[in-house]
Amino acid sequence: MPAPLPSEKAFIPFVSVENMMRLVHHVGIETMLVELTDAIEADFRRWDLFDKTPRVASHSHDGVIELMPTSDGAVYSFKYVNGHPKNMARGLQTVTALGLLAEVSTGYPVLLTEMTLLTALRTAATSAMAARHLAPANSRRLTLIGNGAQAEFQALAMKAVLGIEEVRLYDIDPKATEKTVRNLAETGLRLVPCASAQAAIEGADVITTCTADKQFATILTDNMVGAGVHINAIGGDCPGKTELHRDILLRADTFVEYPPQTRIEGEIQQMDRDYPITELWQVVSGRAQGRSSERQITLFDSVGFAIEDFSALRYVREKLAGTDYFQKLDIIADPDDPRDLFGMLLRAA
């Protein structure tokens, strides 16, 4: 006799890659980026409510595997994510991820989802949120140094949230730039492929660096960065991986997500412990000043933080209501009597 089907409460919504793509197109890419930006900002305003810890990282010669947990006291989330720069040469993604959302009151999961696409979306939304508070007023020109998997998401988030009209592109691999131009061709953005990083940043209001090499690198030198720009440095996200010359940091006002994590993984790992930084949540909530002058150089030293993933997972769960963009997974044991797990097993014999 077949075992009885699990009760409805034992089924967990699971969003596959296919269904995540369906959901994004259902909402609209730019609309989703704007809504994710607002969701992340709303949780940054609740910063004090969250458990916070640097991500738990397992580093190797080839890359890193990390867990990123947090909770606001009612809902718990974590993301599993890797970063393996050498994967690209093998035809694999540099970053892959999956995430889980659970009720604190019962410990039961309420969502399991792919987060490779969702991480790209939330990273772009976080960059746009930071730029909304730190970039020069009426910014219209974006430079993207590094035209890999993040590039299109970053460009569209800045367009949708900030009003960016022109994107100047540079990558050491011309094929990456060609890919980005092709993918963004119908978005209404003016796209300017450039032959060098120096040419790409000419006239930029916002500069985003999103390179993938796991090494100390100098993507931008001090003499390349003029007064008044905002820099999103999003490529440096582990020990030994940076993109900016330290002299840029000496001229910039630097904003970070969670200092104990950023000091290990961000651009500020190059600096002394007394190097001044401001936490971005303080700017978002009005407790600290962001951009204060036209000639100020602002730097968002972004390494990604668990609260951003929490926001993205919470947003996706809300958007699933009334849709079929998920599957029901039977991954929680649900015996008729909670004390009789073995009896449930026997019924399947």
Tell me which residue of 124, 38, 57, 105 sits closest to 264, measured CA to CA: 57
**What is d(CA 274, CA 254) in angstroms, rounded to the nearest whole number?**
13
Backbone angles phi, psi at 93, to 5 degrees: -65, 140
Tokens of 288: 């600290």
First-to-last C-alpha distance (Å) of the chain: 8
Q: Give residues with Cβ within 8 angstroms of 283, minimum separation 6.
A: 133, 134, 255, 289, 290
* Alpha-helical segments (H) within the chain: 17-27, 29-44, 116-134, 151-162, 174-183, 197-200, 246-251, 259-265, 280-284, 306-320, 341-347
Q: Pick the catalytic residue: 237, 253, 301, 309?
A: 237
Active site residue 237: yes
User: CA-to-CA distance for 247 and 252, rounded, in angstroms?
Assistant: 9
Residues belonging to the active site:
237
